[in-house]
Amino acid sequence: MSDQEFTRALGYANAAFDLLKRSGIPPYPQFYELLYTYATGVNPSLNTRLNSIFRGGEKPSSELAETLFNEFLKSDMTERMSSVSERMHARIEAVHDAIDTAMSTASSYSGSLQSATGDLEGDLSDEDMKALAARLLSETRRMQKTNLELEKRLEASRDDISLLQRDLDDVRRESMLDPLTKIANRKSFDEGLADALVEARDTNTPVSLIMADIDHFKTFNDTYGHQTGDQVLRLVAMTLKSNIKGKDLAARYGGEEFVAVLPYTDLHGAVIVAENVRKAIQAKELLKRSTNEKLGRITASFGVASFNPNDNAVSLIERADRCLYAAKHAGRNRVVSESELVDIVEAPKDASAA
């Protein structure tokens, strides 16, 4: 974690604890998560609701916090996973029951065959032979019926398991997407970057990282409202995603920050990609959907770093983050790569860098 990221996270944490203390809400993990999320601003719907509550003079309570947590943060993934698990368990139990029945029937049939073998070795009358044949025929039919039932149950289980697999795939995909922008979320980014670094080491190929931050987003959000802010976040996300290709991964890093992992791309190539994204964002003029009011243009700043043999995920992110802050302090709306860091003198860090 870079110094800048640590400072941001600490600020969010302090704000969350301050809100907990002032509201008299116990600092249970779910309530801390609720107010930490509010402090980051990554869930605009939650912020709109809480801001309305604060403006209305209502003092938050544990009950209200629980309600908000369940509404905005408690994912239905757990319930869906539980449902899939229960269905899988029921299907496995059904298969086990069918197999047990088939094994029991097979064992009985085997016993009947052994008994018949012993009888055949003796001197049987015609009537005894007919009775033995009838008994074996009955046992054979029972065995056929059991096998047919087992086949049907296995066929049904195969179809159901296919549906369960699709449900699990859907849940996993949703768990890896940012709900607002519909691009990869932080968890997906962490996994994607880790995989890209492993591949880069194994194949001795380059991989680069782009970090982007929307300039003056907080001011824009405060001026035009969270719904318009959401529109901006989606716009930047889609612009980033549309300017990468192949195995590249675009993700929302948090708040108004975005990242892109570019396997098989060196620093020079990554800078070109970042410049293309920067220009594409700057070229788009925003309109407020409800009124068609022109809101002007937005810009973003970019930091670019490339993997080296001594890197891990943390060190690569820290270098890209330093480049991003260098771009902010150098005037925003620009791309700074790690090769340029030595030529840029960073100004003191303050809130205006957002």
* Residues annotated as part of the active site: 256
* Burial class of 176 by CB neighbour count within 10 A (0 to 12, 13 to 18, 19+): middle
d(CA 199, CA 188): 16
Contact assessment for residue 311 and residue 338, using Cβ atoms and an 8 Å cutoff? no
- Reading the block at residue 65, the tokens are 């916090």
Q: What DSSP line would sit under 222-284, residue for residue?
A: HHH-HHHHHHHHHHHHHHHHHT--TT-EEEEEETTEEEEEEET--HHHHHHHHHHHHHHHHHP
Contacts of 323 (CB under 8 A, 6+ apart): 211, 302, 303, 304, 305, 336, 337, 338, 340, 341
DSSP 324-343: HHHHHHTTSSSEEEGGGGGG
Q: How many residues does the chain have?
A: 354
**Helix H or strand E segment including 108:** helix 77-120
Question: Exposed, middle or buried by CB within 10 Å (0-12, 13-18, 19+), for 196?
Answer: buried
Other Cβ atoms less than 10 A from the Cβ of 118: the count is 9
* Angle at the Cα of 259 from the Cα atoms of 254 and 261, rounded to 5 degrees: 140
Beta bridge partners of 141: none
Runs of H (alpha helix) within 121-225: 126-175, 186-203, 217-224
CB atoms within 10 A of CB 262: 27
Cα 158 to Cα 81: distance, rounded to the nearest angstrom: 19
Q: How far apart are the first and last CA of the chain?
A: 18
